A and B are shown apart, each in its own frame.
Chain A
């Protein structure tokens, strides 16, 4: 069981007024969404969690170990990140080399490296494209490749920054199943997302940020049920709630069309 414990965290960019301040945040669930408007501090939180930037104050503990004390290799094995823009994660000449580059950071045995690369590419369905240049891939393929580079290292904790963006429908299904599978295998999977439909359908726990602070922790149902809170955070409700509101003037919480169906078939 993985746990992330954040205490008294403060971070401010040198060039802007934006401030991230998290007094206390504990993440123990295996599948967690982080939501919030642009500029709420979601990506900054991810950068702090990966150690790409260092907090001015406060501590981050992962499994009771201080993040700052991890060696670079331990850090890679503990926490991996998939960026929103896959182009900024890819820089090798072929798809295969791209994944191998990641594995070589933590593994030296050539046979193990080759196996790991093949497995990772097979998982995201890119085996046939392994000799292609990553820049020639379509956007969804690039995104899947950037996910494969993290899968190959297989860290305990996976961070996904807007994983649904620039994916088409089948690859959205693939990535969602992959994330659920990782969570079942005792990995911790944390995703930043704007997509409230996906959030409502996929996650049982959501942390909501606004202006650099955590203002909600809990179930999506509770969050979407509090219309004052959703408005304050500038987030929208899932499409199904908008439909219920507009067509039936019904402002109850529904997460998915299936959820609506179940809630209404009980009454029949």
Chain B
């Protein structure tokens, strides 16, 4: 029996998203984001939101993504409210309740912004929930990035889950030692604020220890066997060129839009 599942036959089930390499996924996320910034038509934005949402639904949804989406929805509702009431370009009233008027321009502006936020969250969520850190690392190493650089990139990715994990521990300790029920958002925020610095110190300390271990374990040794990617990816190179070209083109369009205003 193979102990390390490098061969495809040992992977229980290959989903469609396993056939797309991590870099392509990231480029897709970038491409969708740029699209939403270049074209401001509301219907177009909404269809982009739908496309990225479908991508997310087709992947394996993780609780972290769902939490992130919930948090964004909360932000979006506040943004729509505030912009609808106070946006500087507000002219046409949409409706009013008890002398408080809600305007069309502000609401539209906020909806466009929200669509962009959602597209970014959905597309990144798709990337995060379909690739593990090790899959990323293996792929980047296989396409020729030096391992030291790969590790540097990955340790940046690693910091967020690490902070999250430390945070969970601390919140558990607060529950065990304290009377704060931490039920409302305000209570949660208040319980987090004083522990931020210890949290960062702790995470930083762990990163230093990890980098020492990796040196001891010889990760930068010249004889290192290059990792083989976990899956066979379809048309990886072609996808990279196509998506990079399209994204650069869109960035160009956006820059032109900005500059043409001053001409």
Contacts and interface: CB of A to CB of B under 8 A. Distances in A.
Interface of A: 50, 52, 71-73, 75-76, 81, 83, 87-93, 101-102, 105-106, 133-135, 149
Given A88-B172, A101-B177, A149-B177, 18 more contacts: A50-B176, A52-B175, A52-B176, A72-B178, A72-B180, A72-B181, A76-B177, A76-B178, A81-B176, A89-B173, A89-B176, A91-B174, A91-B195, A91-B198, A91-B199, A92-B194, A133-B201, A135-B198
Contacts of B12: none
A84 B172 CA distance: 14
Interface string B197-209: 1110110010000
Given A92-B194, A135-B201, A72 B179 contact: yes
A135 B178 CA distance: 20
Nearest to A94: B198
B178 A93 contact: no
A81 B178 CA distance: 11
A71 B180 CA distance: 11
B193 to A, nearest CB: 12
A106 B180 CA distance: 11
B170 interface: yes
A75 B169 CA distance: 21
Contacts of B169: 87-88
B234 to A, nearest CB: 35
B228 to A, nearest CB: 33
B245 to A, nearest CB: 46
Given A88-B169, A135-B205, A105 B198 contact: no
Contacts of B195: 91-92
Contacts, number: 55
Interface of B: 169-170, 172-181, 194-195, 197-199, 201-202, 205
Nearest to B172: A88
A246 to B, nearest CB: 38
A91 B173 contact: yes
21 contacts: A50-B176, A52-B175, A52-B176, A71-B179, A72-B178, A72-B180, A87-B169, A87-B202, A89-B176, A91-B173, A91-B199, A92-B195, A93-B198, A101-B177, A102-B177, A102-B178, A105-B178, A105-B179, A133-B198, A135-B201, A149-B177
A94 B173 CA distance: 16
Nearest to A85: B169
Contact of B173 (A72, A75, A88): A88
B7 to A, nearest CB: 30
A204 B161 CA distance: 45
A20 B201 CA distance: 37
Nearest to A47: B176
Contacts of B177: 76, 89, 101-102, 105, 149
B173 A73 contact: no
Contacts of A92: 194-195, 198
A13 to B, nearest CB: 15
A93 B175 CA distance: 18
A131 B195 CA distance: 16
A244 B177 CA distance: 44
- Central interface residue in B175, B177, B202, by most chain A CB within 10 Å: B177
A102 B177 CA distance: 6
B187 to A, nearest CB: 12
Contacts of A133: 198, 201
Contacts of B170: 88, 91
A71 B194 CA distance: 24
A81 B180 CA distance: 17
Contacts of B201: 133, 135
A235 B93 CA distance: 76
Contacts of B199: 91
A88 B176 CA distance: 11
Nearest to A88: B169
B57 to A, nearest CB: 24
B35 to A, nearest CB: 40
A75 to B, nearest CB: 8
Contacts of A73: 179
Contacts of A90: 173, 198
